[in-house]
Every structure is written in structure tokens, then in C-alpha cells.
Amino acid sequence: MHIPDGFLSPQTWGTLGLGMIPVWVASAVKTAKSLKIKQVPLLSLGAAFAFVIMMFNIPLPNGTTLHPVGGALVAIILGPWAAVIGITIALVIQALFFGDGGLLALGANCFNMAFVMPFTAYYVYRLISGRSGITSPRRWIGAALGGYISLNMAALLTAVELGIQPLLAHTADGRALYFPYSLAQTVPAISIAHILVGGVVEGIVTGMVVLYFQKANQPMLSLYPPGSRPGEAGPLGGLSLKKVWVAIAALIILSPLGALATGTAWGEWSAEELSKMVGYVPEGIAKARGSMLNVIPDYAIPGWDKTLFQSATGYIVSAVAGLALIFIVVFLFNKFQVKGERSSDIR
């Protein structure tokens, strides 16, 4: 569901990018006020979970793939504003260092996965959970439905953004300058896959994790209770993160499973793949430069991805490197927050 550079016209990625600026600013301000200094490691955890879970590609019968996002779970645990920051960090690192998504398309990807998805998931969860107790079945049911609905909402927006491109920019003979498929093709192709498979996976993962927390780590669900307003985090309580970090480590070890999926996610093709499919490479896609760094493109170590073992190694190295970068970014955010809290104490 990542949109690569060159697939969107400047009108689209520019509008969505500018639209995300106030969202990012509001998220940074509200998150700094909401999460206390000792709770900031949870932001690392949320971003790390989203980064790793997006590496798990699920093969589909039509030869393409899709992946979960994790935005619903992060929103439920940390609140939607913190989720915006956490998912954005993951998406920036994916685009900048791994060529997953694009820098110009970053605003669109963040709008879909880091803004619309967390807020949709949180309010569905809140609507169903209400002020129910920590162990109420309404919690995990609300989480599962929040994951399902929110991922499908993000997928639908992606389909619409891609599908309107032939209408926005095309040559005199009708050739699209950017993404070449129309709404009549993108909406069913992307939405049906997520309705039948992607949303189900996102919902199951979100619901199962919440159910686990209900039984084994209830403070994770009390940090941001459903009755609170966005920007009002609850107490840390007796929160235990050890098992959560163990789970993240397990996901890193299992991340090579994403390499077993064959095909490319619908709408995320390379220029070469598009040329074979439609007979030409749209001008905007041909000129796209993609990631600035692209250190480990597509989570594969350059020149060392011929065997299954090498591919698996590339995935694990990518996961570890991505998490290290996430920790650095959140550490800097923490430093900024510490200075802000100290300044408030002085005043």
C-alpha cells in the first residue's frame, strides 16, 4: 500500500504533503504534552512494531502481495496523535533508506497510513469499547474491527489517489503521465484484496494483541483508556515492556517470511513492470528518482540476495537497521521533550 515516487502528479502529492504539515505539528505538540518522559520508549515500540510488521508481505492468488500496517494497534495503545508520529517515523525510514514508498509520495503515504488509519481505528475502538473495563470483550472486539475498518479506509484512499491520476495528467493522445490505471480498475483491485485478506489480517493481529494484553499486560491498555480525549494519556502504572520487546525481536527473526511472497503489491510496480503491463512507461514514473539513500533497497543487501539465506539475512539486517534508526529518531524527540519539560518547570 506504499505509493512510490512518480505515481502521483505534483497536484496530488503536493496537496497531501501540505495537508500533513499541520497534522505533524499538532501531533508533535500533543504527543510531547501527552506522553511523559518515562513513557517515550513506548513511542519507539510503536514505530518499531509498525516498521517490522510492514515487512511481512502476504501473497495473493493474482500474483501480487499486500501487508499489514500496525497503525490501529499503535493508536489504541498510545492514542492517535502519538500514532501519527510513530507511523510517520517508520514510513520516513522505509522511504529514505529502503526504497519502500517515495519521498515525494511521503505525504500521501502518511496521510493514508499515519493519519487516516490511526484516527479511524481509534474512534471505532472507542465507539465499541466505550468505558468498558480492561477485561471486557468489547475491548478486543473493538480493536479487531478498528484494525479491519481502518486498513480498508487507508486502502480505499490509496486506490482513489492512484485512480484519479489519468484524469489529472495525460498526453494529447490519452497516455497517462503518472499512474496509468483508472478508478474503475484501482478501486476494485486494491479494495477487494484488503476487504477479503488485508483487513482481516490487520483486524486479527490487532484484536489478538489487545486480547493478550488483557490477560498478561493490562497496563498497556490503561495508558490511553477509551474514555480519554486525544492528547490525554493515562498513568504508566505497572507497565511491563520486557515481553513486548521479546515479541518485537521475534518479529525481526520472522521477518524473512516476507521474502517468500512472490509478486509485487498491486500499484507498487517498477517502471519495467509497468512497461510490460501497459506498453509504455508514464513520463512521471520514468523521471522519478526515488529514495535519496536507498541503502538496502527492498530490504535486500545489494549483490547478496541470490539465495534464500541471503534474502533472509537482508530482511533481518534491514529490520535491525530500521529499528536502530527509529531509536535514534525517538531519542532525539525525547531530548527535545526533556528540554521542553525542564523549561516548563523553570517557568
- Contact (CB, 8 A) for 142 and 221: no
Determine how many CB atoms are found less than 10 A away from the CB of residue 264: 15
Distance CA 156, CA 136 (A): 31
Give this prediction's pTM: 0.89
Between 272 and 178, whose confidence is greater?
178
pLDDT > 70 in the chain, percent: 88
Do 179 and 160 contact (CB within 8 A), yes or no? no
**Rounded to whole angstroms, how far apart are CA atoms 313 and 66?**
21
The per-residue DSSP string of 169-185 comes to SB-TTS-BSS----HHH
**Cα–Cα nearest to 279, from 166, 146, 176:** 176
Q: What residues are paired with 176 via a beta bridge?
A: 170
Contact 252, 320 (CB under 8 A): yes
| Greatest mean pLDDT range, 126-130, 255-259, 333-337 | 126-130
Rg of the chain on CA atoms, in Å: 20
* Grid coordinates of 13: 502529492
Domains of the chain: 10-346 (1.10.1760.20)
Concatenating the DSSP letter of every residue in 99-124 gives -SS-STTHHHHIIIIIIIHHHHHHHH
Interval 6-32: pLDDT, tens: 999 999 999 999 999 999 999 988 887
Model confidence band, residue 231 (pLDDT cutoffs 50, 70, 90): very low
CA distance 58 to 48: 19
Mean of the per-residue pLDDT values of the chain? 86
**Strands 58-59 and 65-66, how do they pair?**
antiparallel
Over residues 150-160, the pLDDT tens digits come to 999 999 999 99
For 273-294, the pLDDT digits (tens) are 888 999 999 999 988 876 667 7
Question: H-type helices in the chain, by residue range?
Answer: 10-34, 41-53, 71-78, 80-98, 106-109, 117-129, 137-163, 165-168, 183-193, 199-216, 219-222, 242-254, 257-260, 271-278, 283-287, 308-346
Question: What is the Cα–Cα distance from 85 to 296, expressed in whole angstroms?
Answer: 23
